[in-house]
Amino acid sequence: MPQVFKRHNILFSDEEWDLITEKAKELKISVSEFIRKTMTKEIQERDSQDLLNYINENCEYVSPKEEEEIIRMLEGIDLDDDSDAVEVTVDDILQG
């Protein structure tokens, strides 16, 4: 089934339009594709930043001793072996 796109009209100032069209030309993509990609990236970065802000506001730093223990524990983990791995979402962590 072909992908369905939504349409929305956006007004840009001359300065904004020039900036957008020049960058799209530089990247050799259409203005529409440039705007789609740029907005998607911006949303993802803001979502990541929101998580970072939450962590910074709600999580304390560990003591040097705890940090050493965590590092030792992590060194013993085989990252290539995911046989008993469990996927955890941010909601899982926040809900405890």
35-66 confidence digits (pLDDT tens): 999 999 988 887 877 777 888 888 888 899 99
Terminal CA-CA length for the chain: 40
Burial 3-29 (b: 16+ CB within 10 A, else e): eeeeeeeeeeeeeeeeeeeeebeeeee
Residue 35: burial class (beta carbons within 10 Å; 0-12, 13-18, 19+): middle
Kindly tell me the burial class for residue 61, based on how many C-beta atoms sit within 10 Å of its own C-beta (0-12, 13-18, 19 or more).
exposed
Check residues 23 and 74 and name the one with the higher pLDDT.
23
Mean pLDDT (whole number) for 28-32: 95
Q: How confident is the model at residue 96 (pLDDT cuts 50, 70, 90)?
A: low
